[in-house]
Amino acid sequence: MTKERLPHIHILAMGGTIAGRAANAAETVGYRAGAIGINELLEAVPQLTDIAEVTGETVASIDSKDMTEALMIKLARRTEECLLDDSIDGIVITHGTDTLEESAFFLSLTLSSAKPVIFTGAMRPATALSADGPLNLLDAVHTASSPDAKNRGILVVMNGTIHDASDVTKRHTSRVDTFQSPNRGAIGAVTGGHVHFFYTAAPVHNLFPIPSGPLPEVEILYGHENESRILVDALINSKVSGIIYAGTGMGSISETVLPALREAQEQGIAVVRASRTGSGAVIPTSDYPLPFISAGTLVPQKSRILLQLLLVKKMNPSEIQHVFNLY
């Protein structure tokens, strides 16, 4: 009898707490992210060899708070090469959780493949009591090996749940259930190695080639009571290409900042209204007609990435709004 070939899952390591080392096992907060190499990470989960032929490589060893656009592009390019490699069936990206959602969303906009690409990470360092990284890694490899995970774009597997890259966001500073999909909910679960999707695959929007150079400068502003226009004026003077305004409620803009943002638009700066609430959609309203762009359900940090890529295409506010309407 011939033995069935195990799927080949390739791991791309970016660092983060999943590869974090602390001085002792009780330490869950003070540690060095990205200190543990890919081999040690894989050796900690010997069960991986039962479900897949796992290989790995280090792309970066950083705390993801220091993630850069250049690294995001490097990660996208390397992932694309792996997707084109016929010997690889699926990819797992281990990543720091602080900006995991940005990288996952960027890859979802720039890569297209039927093969599963799964992001995972950890909230406790690898050396901690009850470290969550090893099980997250095992669950991610289970998902990357699952035929049901094909044609679903970029997914995030954390704490036994599967999330779509566009909705998932980090919602808690320290808990292991920090990743939530606040608008549409988790799309699946991994339980005892069983991968279960709750819904049929949603349409995947892969809209852009991987950018070849630096992206236009887009900054995020955070709305609050008693606002001044100091920061908007600074951004106008800096000649940024875009502003994401994380407004109060449904992207509301105070009477102080509104004229400043209108001036920014007159200078050719694209302005997107998002929300500081963390969930729900910001939709176009008559209070804020075009050229104000509404972010839909995208959180400010993802709105920023989408706007950057749209500005590369030299789209006008109306065309940009059409794309945000997908979310």
Which residues are at the interface with ligand ASN (CB under 6 A)? 16-17, 33, 63-65, 96-98, 121, 123
* Minimum distance from residue 76 beta carbon to ligand ASN (Å): 18
Q: Which residues does residue 190 pair with via DSSP β-bridges, in sequence order?
A: 195
Burial 175-213 (b: 16+ CB within 10 A, else e): ebebbbbebeebbbbbeeeebebeeeeeebeeebebbee
Which residue lies nearer to ligand ASN by CB, 17 or 308? 17
* Antiparallel, parallel or unpaired: β 90-94 and 8-15: parallel
Q: Which of 78, 77, 151 is nearest to 112 (CA)?
A: 151
Which residue lies nearer to ligand ASN by CB, 9 or 158? 158
* Minimum distance from residue 121 beta carbon to ligand ASN (Å): 5
From residue 21, give the alpha-carbon distance in Å to each of 124, 176, 195. 9, 17, 30
Which H/E stretch holds residue 15? strand 8-15
* Minimum distance from residue 32 beta carbon to ligand ASN (Å): 10
Please pick, among 28, 79, 97, 143, the residue that the annotation labels catalytic.
97
Which residue lies nearer to ligand ASN by CB, 58 or 265? 58
To the query of whether residue 2 is one of the catalytic residues in this protein, the response is no
To the question of whether residue 89 is assigned a binding role by annotation, the answer is no
* Stated length of the chain: 327
From residue 258, give the alpha-carbon distance in Å to each of 150, 176, 233, 247. 45, 39, 12, 11
- What CA–CA distance (Å, rounded) separates 318 from 323? 9
Task: Pull the structure tokens for residue 232.
Answer: 């908007």
Q: Which residue is nearest to ligand ASN (CB)?
A: 96
Please pick, among 17, 79, 127, 143, the residue that the annotation labels catalytic.
17
* Minimum distance from residue 275 beta carbon to ligand ASN (Å): 23
To the question of whether residue 98 is assigned a binding role by annotation, the answer is yes
267 Cβ neighbours under 8 A, 6+ residues apart:
236, 239
To the query of whether residue 17 is one of the catalytic residues in this protein, the response is yes
Which residue lies nearer to ligand ASN by CB, 89 or 98? 98
To the question of whether residue 64 is assigned a binding role by annotation, the answer is yes
Which residue lies nearer to ligand ASN by CB, 13 or 271? 13
Which residue lies nearer to ligand ASN by CB, 62 or 190? 62
Task: Pull the structure tokens for residue 94.
Answer: 């281990």
* Minimum distance from residue 95 beta carbon to ligand ASN (Å): 8
- What CA–CA distance (Å, rounded) separates 39 from 17? 16
Sign of CA dihedral 47, 154, 20, 78: positive
* Minimum distance from residue 183 beta carbon to ligand ASN (Å): 23
Return binding residues for substrate.
64, 97-98
Catalytic residues: 17, 97
